[in-house]
Amino acid sequence: MPSVHAAFILAKTGFDWICFDLEHGAITHETLSIMVQAVQSTGCIPFARVAGTDPILIKQALDTGIQGIILPMINSELDAKRALSACFYPPLGTRGVGFSLANSYGKEFESYFHSIHHNLCVVLQIEHISAVKDLDAIFTLQGIDAVMIGPYDLSASMGKTGKFDDPSYQNLINQIYSQAKNHHISPGLHIVNPSPEEFTQRVSEGFQFIAYGIDAVFLNRIATDHVSLLRHGILEKKK
């Protein structure tokens, strides 16, 4: 949600990092800039998932001062090369150089320029069956810290949207996990519907980068549960 207050509240609860969704969310560039500052003030690490691998989208997100970036729909080695290059300044990449919020509009340009390559966490999102065939080539590229499985898009690309118990889907998850580990890349996934049981299970399996829940899902679930309890209480009282 494009809410500075919601981001701040969630950051204060103790999450290691908060991700602003620019792919499916309604967050504008200006709002993102304010949300990043709000989350940073709590000590929580601000991430952003950009809308695509267009270098302009990546550059604009990085210029707000995010410390982690999730790159969606990496379906091939070419996609990965293009996106990774856009994340880093020359000579490592092709990110445009300029004064921005990230470097205090030039005041801290030198320190930001020399430190961001070491501090930026880059996460590739694998969410299409075609990407799985190209994993070895993708994972040999430099600059990847973690890989995150996009469960709904990955299952949809198989023609099995949301069927997470399907054996063929589970085989793909295991393949992505194993190849990430082989290349010393942290394996990750998104637990869309918050579940402490699934979280514990995934950690025990070795997943190291886990996106847990969505702000709107947390709000929807808690509000629905409370309304149901209140209505039940009223009905019981009437009896």
* Catalytic pick among 5, 24, 114, 232: 24
Q: Chain-centre distance of CA 193, in angstroms?
A: 15
Torsion of the alpha carbons at 25, 1, 123 and 179, rounded to the nearest 10: -80
CA 147 – CA 222 distance, rounded (Å) = 30
Write out the two tokens for 25: 């969310």
Under 8 Å CB-to-CB from 196, ≥6 apart: which residues? none
Distance CA 106, CA 104 (A): 5
- Which ranges in the chain belong to alpha helices (H)? 4-12, 29-40, 55-62, 77-87, 109-119, 129-132, 135-139, 151-157, 167-182, 196-205, 215-238
Strand partners, 191: 212
24 noted as active-site residue? yes
What CA–CA distance (Å, rounded) separates 82 from 94? 9
Question: SS3 for 28?
Answer: coil
Q: How far apart are CA 203 and CA 53, in angstroms?
A: 29
Q: Which residues carry out catalysis?
A: 24
